[in-house]
Amino acid sequence: MPDQKFALPDWEIQVISPGRVNLLGEHVDYNQGLVLPIAIDRYVRLAARPRADDLVVIESLDLNEITQFHLAGLEQRADADGRPLAGWALYPAGVAWALRENGLEVRGLEAVIASDLPIGAGLSSSAALELAFALAWGAAAGWGMERMALALLCQRAENLYAGVNCGLMDQFTCAHGVARHALFFDTRSLQWQPLPMPPGTTVVIADSGLRRQLSTSGYNQRRVECEQAARALSARLPGIQSLRDVNPAQLDAHADCLTENERKRARHVVEEIERVRQAAMCLAQEDAPGFGRLMAAGHASLRDLFEVSLAELDGLVEAALSIAGCHGARLTGAGFGGCTVNLVEKDAAGAFSQELQRQYRQKFGRQAQVYVCQPSRGTHLAGT
């Protein structure tokens, strides 16, 4: 477990909530597609104790910031002094709002948080934070909830309160992570299955150092383009609810009804869902090289068709694929910055990480933070 930078108070509620990295299936969760993420062994940690009033006081040790807001005024998205909530504070406030909207008791809370997840890097620090507070409020009030329902409420908080139109994958993964396994997740049926990672491999995450804000980046625009493509295709193909329902032959036959951007976005989604199906078979067959080839193909599609990559992300992927012991590499998360994910032979991970950093620094003059990770357990109360 990574060393912790800050010590949390020894309060009655202690929550450990992992980040996530998506191995394959990017930008398909909001198209009701198939994804293949893992929870990772880097965490948001939370210590909390209930209050007798409706005030929520949160101290972020990483940011050296404290925010306070009243549960009675959540719709205002304002702190206790009437000022707009800081961006990071929208996530716990949104969870409180979603839980209360669902009729659950939410008490005043004093909380301290610390994390070894890089913020804004595409490793779902926001979903980890959401699930941590959801479990904390459940523990404070004494109610429990099935994990999928809790993930759905946290997604609602991010969509409607924080203003990011994310799919369910991030919250699902943080809630359901299984040690040493990837999660094969159908975002339409909500059925899922843990699949063992290939023996002798590890996951290496490389942080480009470039940051983006999802609500102000091209993320929401990509989602709109996918929805427009599905609507246009449904005029020709009755019964189409989302791009999940379109196969490559249908897209070829009816591409003329789409704009150029819609064609490219749809092509990526349709083919990426098929890559996830193939990747699940690779895991079942312990085929790490085959899985890696699908990762590389996914990156090319995100770069050329979905157009969410950057030169630095492309550089990290190209460098990774040239280094011994690397089976596959691609950008992960929404793109527009953030991280790449690499499937690497465990014995080669140290040398791989050093060489990847060297090549990135040489080409771009930037330092890449590199994390060697293993699939982790989902959000849980410490000691349980």
Please give the positions annotated as active site. 170
- Amino acid of residue 336: F
Contacting residues for 235 by C-beta, under 8 A, at least 6 apart:
257
3-state SS, residue 350: helix
Could you give the CA distance from residue 7 to residue 210 in angstroms, rounded to a whole number?
A: 28
Which of 272, 229, 115 has the alpha carbon at shortest distance from 91?
115
Bridge partners (DSSP) of residue 339 are 207, 332
Which of 344, 21, 42, 1 has the alpha carbon at shortest distance from 198?
344
Contacting residues for 7 by C-beta, under 8 A, at least 6 apart:
none
Could you give the CA distance from residue 75 to residue 321 in angstroms, rounded to a whole number?
A: 48
Could you give the CA distance from residue 236 to residue 250 in angstroms, rounded to a whole number?
A: 10
Contacting residues for 103 by C-beta, under 8 A, at least 6 apart:
none
